[in-house]
Chains A and B, each alone.
Chain A
Amino acid sequence: MKKFVSAVLAGCMALSLAACGNSASSASTASTGGASEGSNGTTVIKIGGIGPVTGAAAVYGNAVKLGAEIAVEEINAKGGIQYEFKFEDDENDAEKSINAYNNLKDWGMQILMGTVTSTPCIAVAAETSADNMFQITPSGSAEDCIATDNAFRVCFSDPEQGTLSAEYISENNLATKIAIIYDSSDVYSSGIHDAFVAKAEELGLEIVCDEKFTSDSNKDFSAQVSKAQSSGADLLFLPIYYNEASLILTRADAVGYEPLVFGCDGLDGLVSVENFDTALAEGVMLMTPFTAAATDEMTTSFVAAYEEKSGGETPNQFAADAYDAIYAIDAAIQKAGVTADMSYSDICDALKTAITEIELDGLTGKGITWDASGAPTKTPAVYIIENGVYVAA
């Protein structure tokens, strides 16, 4: 028996060694292929990405992955500094995200573009801070995602979205009585909620119904919807992700509740849920910095590239955030004169200051700037869903 076990163990070891060899050689062939025209020799800068490409939040991870890949291909095609991009799945789970981060570090990652969702992002930010790895999250919008000085972000923060939403509702007199349904177990959702409530109070908006749900009870919304309905609110604020929103909209429709629905970028993706009746989303307002419906040249060429790469899907805001994140990295690298042979810690020190000195004309805003806190400055836009497409409000 002992002999058998040791034989099996030896076999396993041999296999795993072989696997190591394989992955190393495939990585190196990929890099030489990309860098043959590069002006700085034969090496490339390795950017890692982390996000959910499976699980309930997969729409975001897949969008980020594709958006970033498009940006990397575009930059590499121009010549100059060459990049290699590798994306790992975290299923929107903090623990899996840290595993993914460690895998990418083994691969030789020098810069992290991630993670996509807030909860895992906070966990990974603690690791990158300890390692001094430069991190820019495209869409991790919780405040704590960029609490450390090595972490930056492309999208708005949750509190910013909440504050801006309240200001927008108040300025445009959309409603006087507001109902909120939010996910109290989610950092993104409760972050927006808290800031929204604080700002709404300041602006004299009345919150008549403030209901919660958690990730364990996110299917049945009959109690929350009937509470919102009986509270007499004329606006329903949904600072949540699109999947729960689709259930709330279905439920509201079934009981004949027709408030004005207002949400943030988490609702982006609502109309692309398979078999979802877009009539339910008619008139839903959402604040998102990017829409594929825009007609400027940058957006149209990005949308075309994305559709080709994804087999006909329309890019959402997360794809655009990722695209901008890669361009921001590239701009900061050029500003700081980073080269591929530098260690990730040196790169991080250089980029930390360089990124605050650049100004980026991206898909999610013109003239985006960063300060040392890691937060971007850009102008938000509000859209209304009409006949299944976004129309500028």
Chain B
Amino acid sequence: MRVEQNHRGQMAAMSMPALVFTVGMIAFPFLYTIWMSFQTYSSTGQVTGWGGDNYLRMVVDGQFWNGIWITLYLYVLSLVMQLVLGTGLALLLFRAKRLPGIVRSLFISPFMMPPVVAGMMWLVILDPSLGAANWILTSLGLPPSAWLASPVLVVPTLAMIDTWQWTPYVALIVLGGLQSLPPSVYEAAEIDGASRRAVFFRITLPLLLPTLVTAMILRSVDLLRFFDLIYITTQGGPSNHSMTLNIYGFRVGFEFFQLGYAGALMVTLSVLVLGAVMAFNRLRAVVEW
């Protein structure tokens, strides 16, 4: 008995460094951000006040609401495109059964690419005067587009770039889901006389919902924190039309050095992400079969 307790003590002592490290690396920055969000700082970094001022400021800050709107607009647009295209792509791949290695590699390459590289690549492609995108449009007799420089098109264009990069990832998740569906159910449907349309909408899609919700959770976390691609391409412009909450918080913190307010913005964003994840987790329990 004593030996066992000694043994336990030893084990606790030996796992302590890992515990301290984990708390230091994960919990401390998070708690410190929350702590900061309740403080106001002068431009020289002195604490000038304590309380909920930063959160009150958010309510009346037009830029904050613009950030929320842009974040949600970009999020919904990208998520819908990635889910629809990803599911379509997965169904095609599922039917193809065997896939040459080169196709598979090409297929997963977009999301292997660092977002910075993807951003630079698309900047070149979408350049209004030199880019391939406008060359194609004008070759087809269509008017050229301003793409990322257009206040109207900037969010759809960013959504398109992200969709290009992340649709294969969604497709791989959905393909995994498709491959795990019970084959005998499809044979039963064949005997029951279900058309292809009925099989898709009444069997495949409902059975895939748990997988789709998982894909939604994974993409939601990324999409709500949309940052690197915008930072490389537009930095929030033109005139704040792609200023997501994350980009706004970054600029407030590291360009205007209002660390308290930036902290409050980031805490709000985190709550938004957490809320989305919790909502989808609920949804997953509902669609589970």
A associates with B: no
Chain A residues with CB under 8 Å of chain B are none
